[in-house]
Chains A and B, each alone.
Chain A
C-alpha cells in the first residue's frame, strides 16, 4: 500500500486522514501540496475534509481546479484509488470525477453528530470488510445534501454504486445517499468521516473496516 493525502489551503482533516491511514495501513502516508503538479507513486489518494479556499464560490469548486487535480485525474484514469471525504467528496463532484452535487443541508445549518449508516454495497473495494449491520460514523458539514437527476440516480442504484445510506438522514440528501462510487468502483466520495472513527476512545471504530477493505483490495 502506497498512499498520499492532499492538502489544499483550508483543508483541516488532512492530518486526521493521514494519521488514520497510517494507523490502519501500517505505512507512511505521503503529504502532497495542492500546487504540486505530480503525485508520488501511490495506489491511493485521499482528498480530505475541511474548507478548501474557505468554501468560497462553491464548496470544492476552486480546489477541483488546483494544479494537483490534473495528476489526480490521471491517477484515476490509470485505475488508481481515490477516497474523498466531506470536502473531498465535494471536490470530486466539482471535478466531475463523481456524478451529482452537494448542496446546503436542508436545515440550512451546519450539522455535527454521529449518524447511523447502512452499508448498501459490501462488495466494493472500500467496503468488503464490513459486516451486515448498521455502522456509526460522525458527520460534520454544512453542505452535505447530495442531489442528482433521476436518470443519474437510477444509474447509481442499478450499478450498485450507492455504498452508504443514512438511516437518519441529517441533511436532506437524495435517497439518503451518504457515499457513492464512480463507474469503475475505484473512486469513493462520502460525507461521513471514517478517519474520526478508528479509535475506541473516539466513540466508534466503524471507520476501520473501510481502510481494511482498501488494504485488502490493494495489498500490503
Chain B
C-alpha cells in the first residue's frame, strides 16, 4: 500500500518537500506512514538541531576535568576522589505554556532521566523561568501552575530544588520559558552511555506503560505558536513522579548489579529516538517487536506506539546472562518490564507489529544524516549607547532602591521556592534565595555550587555581549561562594530561526558564549536548543540560559552572603564606570529599554575572580555578594538582608554620577564584607595583584544608609523585597 504524499501530510509531519526528497533518496523508495513519522520526529528541530548544529560546533567543550561533553544524555565532569558530576539543562517551554502544571512537571521528569540514565543519582534541580508581563492574561495561572508542577514532581521524587531564576517581560507573554537543570553524582568508573552493543543482547523496556499521550511532542516543540495553540493540549504529556522515583531506584540498582550494557531514556520522540540513538551511537542495528511493548490502551497503531511520549519509560540493552536478575530488580520496584527487541549487526532498525515489518530503515542516515541548515542571518543593529546626560534626571536614590527591590525581576522569589522541597537529601548547605546554591556531595566533605544565569535584556540589545555576560555571571556566582567554576550546560531559547534576524541572534549568542567559555576555562558539556519561541510573529527576547557548576573541595571553604557582621568593612572589587545602558535601573525607574549592555572584559573578570578566590583562601572574606542587576546599591541591600545587619554605603561621586555609582551594572565586580582588622592586608594584596579594590562602606546598625540620604530601615528593605510576589498572587505577604 503506497502512501500518497500530499502537502498536507508533509505539513502535518513538519517536513519540507526537499527533506522528503532526501528521505526517498536515502531509502531508494517512498516511505510508509510509520517511517514518515519516524523521519518527522528524528529530523525535527528538537531532535536534530538542524538550524543550530553548524554554530554549536563553535562552543569549547574540552578541559582536563571534562569526562564527557555534548552528545550524550548529559555532560560529565570529574570532581575528584573517583566521583563525577553529571548535569544538563533542558527546556520545556511549549508544553508549559499550553498546560503549565504537566508541562513543567514532565520537564523535571525528563531532565532527571537524562541524568540518572548515565548512572548518576540526581542530587539537585534548578529552574530558570521567564514569564510575560505580570498584567498579561493567564500569567498568574502560568506562574502558579509551573511552580506547582515543578514542586509536585521534584518534591515527590525526592530531589531537592535548590535554585534558579524567575523574571518577567512582555516579550514572553505568548511563550514562557521553563528551563530545568539537573545535577547528579556518579562513580567515575560507573558512568553509563547510550551505546548499544553486544549482538544478540536483549533490548529491554522498563517503566510506565505506553499510551497515546504526547504523540508528536517533539514536532510541536519545533513550531511557532498561533492563537489556536492551546488546542494542542493532547500533545502534552502527563507525569507520574511516583513511577519516576521507582525508575530512578530500579535503574541505579540495575547498574549497580551490572545488568546494563547501554541505557537511554524515552524522552522526546519516545521509543523511536531512544532506539535509534542507542543503535546509532553503538554502530549497530536493532530489531524491535512492538507487540511486546506494555500498552496502556487497546488498539494502538505502530505509528502511535513509536511516537508516543508517555513519560517515565527507559530502554536498555541488558547484559547477556543478567536478564533474570534485571527482571527481578524491575519487579521488586513494581515496574513493567519486557524484552522488546535484540541488538543486531545489520545497521538497520527493523520494526515488527502484528507479524508484519512496519518499518525497515538504515539507522545512521535517520539519526545522523538529518538536514543541516546554514540559515541566513541578517546583520544585527549595533545598540546605540545611551547619552549620560539623559539620565541626570532627579532620582531619589533610596526611593529608586526600594522600587528596584520590589520590581518583579528582583523581588524575592520566596513564594516560589518555599513550594519546593529544597532540603531533602540533608545536603543543602546554601539554600535558595542567597545567590548560587550549594549542595554537599553526600558522604564527603566536597560540595557543588550551582547557578543559572542569563540577562535577556542584555541579549536583546546585543546577543554577543549578552551571552558573554551570562557565562561571566555564572562564573562569578560560583566564585562568590568560594567554589572553583568547572563547566556549564546551556539552553538556547530563541524565536523562529527561519527569520534572518533570529538566526543572527542565535549565531551571535553562540559566538559570545564560546568566547567567554574559552577565556574563563568554563567549557560547555551539555545543552539544549529551543527554537520557534514566538507567537504570531513576535519572538521572545534571545535567552541563552546558562547553568553553571563549580566545586568546593572542602565545605569549610564555603563563603556565604549571610555572614556579614556589624563593624565589617565593605570592599568593592572591580571597576565602576557607572554603566547604565540596558540596566534594570533604566528600565524600571526611567521606563527606558535602550542602550548597549555593559561591556564584558573577560581578562578582568578572570583576574578579579582569582583575586577574590585568593582572599577567600587567606580567610579574609566574611561574606561575599556578586554585583549584577541593580548594581552596588542592590548588592549592598542583599548583603544587609541576608546578614540582617544594616550598612553605610559611601557615594564618592558627584550628584550627576550618583545613579551610575549606585545602580550601574559594570561587570566583573564583587562586594566583600571584611573584618576591619584584615582590610589593610587585603588592600595591600590588591595593589600587588593589580586588582581594583576600594573600601565603600561599613556594616552596622539596622538601616541601609546611602551617602547622606535618609536611612532605609532593614524592615522597609525587607518589605520591599518580599511583598510583590505574594501580593501579585493575591495572598498576604
Residues of A participating in the B interface, judged by any CB pair closer than 8 Å: 9-10, 12-13, 15-16, 19-20, 49-51, 53-56, 107, 109-113, 138, 140, 142, 193, 195-196, 198-199, 201-203
Does B334 contact A203, Cβ atoms closer than 8 Å?
no
Told that A195-B426, A201-B555 touch, could you supply 14 new A-B pairs with CB distance under 8 A?
A: A9-B245, A12-B424, A13-B424, A16-B425, A20-B426, A51-B156, A54-B240, A54-B243, A109-B148, A110-B419, A112-B417, A112-B421, A113-B418, A140-B424
Known contacts A19-B426, A51-B156: A109-B419 contact under CB 8 Å = yes
Give the distance in Å from the alpha carbon of A201 to the alpha carbon of B445 in the complex. Answer: 11
Chain B interface size, as a band, is 20 to 34
Does B424 contact A16, Cβ atoms closer than 8 Å?
yes
Known contacts A113-B418, A140-B155: A10-B242 contact under CB 8 Å = yes
Does B421 contact A56, Cβ atoms closer than 8 Å?
no
Closest to A207 in B: B426
Chain A facing B: main interface SS: mixed
Within 8 A of A (CB), among B126-159: 148, 151-152, 155-158
Residues of chain B within 8 A of A198, CB atoms compared: 426
Does B431 contact A110, Cβ atoms closer than 8 Å?
no
Closest to A203 in B: B431
Q: A51 touches which one: B242, B420, B425 (CB < 8 A)?
A: B242
Does B426 contact A202, Cβ atoms closer than 8 Å?
yes
Give the distance in Å from the alpha carbon of A109 to the alpha carbon of B246 in the complex. Answer: 24
B238 CB, nearest partner CB in chain A, Å: 13
Q: A9 touches which one: B240, B333, B418 (CB < 8 A)?
A: B333
B408 CB, nearest partner CB in chain A, Å: 20
B480 within 8 Å of A by Cβ?
no
Does A112 contact B422, Cβ atoms closer than 8 Å?
yes
Give the distance in Å from the alpha carbon of A56 to the alpha carbon of B243 in the complex. Answer: 12
Known contacts A16-B424, A201-B555: A10-B419 contact under CB 8 Å = no
Within 8 A of A (CB), among B227-253: 240-243, 245-246
Does A138 contact B246, Cβ atoms closer than 8 Å?
no
Encode B314-340 as 1/0 by CB contact (under 8 A) with A: 000000000000000000011000000
Give the distance in Å from the alpha carbon of A113 to the alpha carbon of B428 in the complex. Answer: 13
10 nearest A-B residue pairs (beta carbon): A12-B158, A54-B242, A16-B426, A51-B156, A140-B421, A201-B429, A110-B419, A196-B426, A112-B421, A110-B151
Give the distance in Å from the alpha carbon of A13 to the alpha carbon of B424 in the complex. Answer: 7
A13 CB, nearest partner CB in chain B, Å: 6
In the complex, number of A-B residue pairs with CB atoms less than 8 Å apart:
84
Does A112 contact B156, Cβ atoms closer than 8 Å?
no
Closest to B241 in A: A54
Closest to A19 in B: B426
Does A202 contact B422, Cβ atoms closer than 8 Å?
no
B107 within 8 Å of A by Cβ?
no
Residues of chain A within 8 A of B429, CB atoms compared: 201-202
Interface centre among B240, B418, B424, B425 (most CB of A within 10 A): B424
A102 CB, nearest partner CB in chain B, Å: 16
Interface centre among B151, B423, B428 (most CB of A within 10 A): B423
Interface centre among B151, B245, B246, B420 (most CB of A within 10 A): B245
Known contacts A16-B424, A112-B422, A140-B155: A9-B241 contact under CB 8 Å = no
Closest to A112 in B: B421
B440 within 8 Å of A by Cβ?
yes
Does A112 contact B420, Cβ atoms closer than 8 Å?
yes
B417 CB, nearest partner CB in chain A, Å: 8
Residues of chain B within 8 A of A111, CB atoms compared: 418-419
B205 CB, nearest partner CB in chain A, Å: 20
Interface centre among A20, A107, A112 (most CB of B within 10 A): A112
Residues of chain B within 8 A of A112, CB atoms compared: 155, 417-423
Give the distance in Å from the alpha carbon of A53 to the alpha carbon of B156 in the complex. Answer: 10
Residues of chain A within 8 A of B148, CB atoms compared: 109-110
Does A12 contact B242, Cβ atoms closer than 8 Å?
no
Closest to A49 in B: B424
Does B440 contact A201, Cβ atoms closer than 8 Å?
yes
Within 8 A of A (CB), among B710-733: 731
Within 8 A of A (CB), among B286-338: 333-334
